[in-house]
A = this chain, B = another copy of it.
């Protein structure tokens, strides 16, 4: 039984910036980095995503936000200090940091981060969001914020944003 994880290898790494245009359709993508400070931390990316969309002259379309990591996730919720504390406590209750996990056992796993809890918690959130663009802006409700959950920080996290639409 292998102790290693499978590595994903593209023929070429993802370019930091890439675009294509055809028949009135524009696709534009870029990678950006978010530095986190804590092991578990929720960061509000809404302003950044809204600015990204406004930079392009896309009136109708989609914007995809993708975390390049397994233990860093993306989701929608309200952003309030009290609620964030509830979310952290909920994660600890659902998936204990210190339970016995095979992924954390050096006899079974070559991962030295001891982060099985992070992997399990990540499954509850998901790693990407595909949002609508309309009228040149992201479609979001009044209380909806685009949030990133760092689940095994602190680290530098790469996210990729891709816009897809018609001017």
Task: Please give the residue numbers on chain A whose beta carbons come within 8 Å of chain B beta carbons, in ascending order.
Answer: 1-12, 14-15, 18-25, 27, 29, 44, 46, 50, 59-62, 64, 66-70, 75-83, 85-87, 90, 94-95, 101-103, 105, 108-109, 111, 116, 119-120, 122-132, 134-135, 137-145, 158, 160, 162, 164-167
- Within the complex, the shortest CB–CB distance from A113 to chain B, in Å, comes to 11
A119 touches B86 (CB 8 A): yes
Chain B residue at minimum C-beta to C-beta distance from A10: B137
Q: In the complex, what residues of B have CB within 8 A of residue A105's CB?
A: 82
Top-10 shortest CB links A-B: A23-B23, A22-B24, A68-B141, A82-B102, A20-B60, A5-B80, A20-B166, A82-B108, A27-B60, A82-B109
Interface of A is mostly: mixed
CA–CA, A29 and B136, complex, Å: 13
| A165 proximity list for chain B (CB < 8 A) | 20, 27
Known: A60-B20, A158-B141. A119 touches B78 (CB 8 A): yes
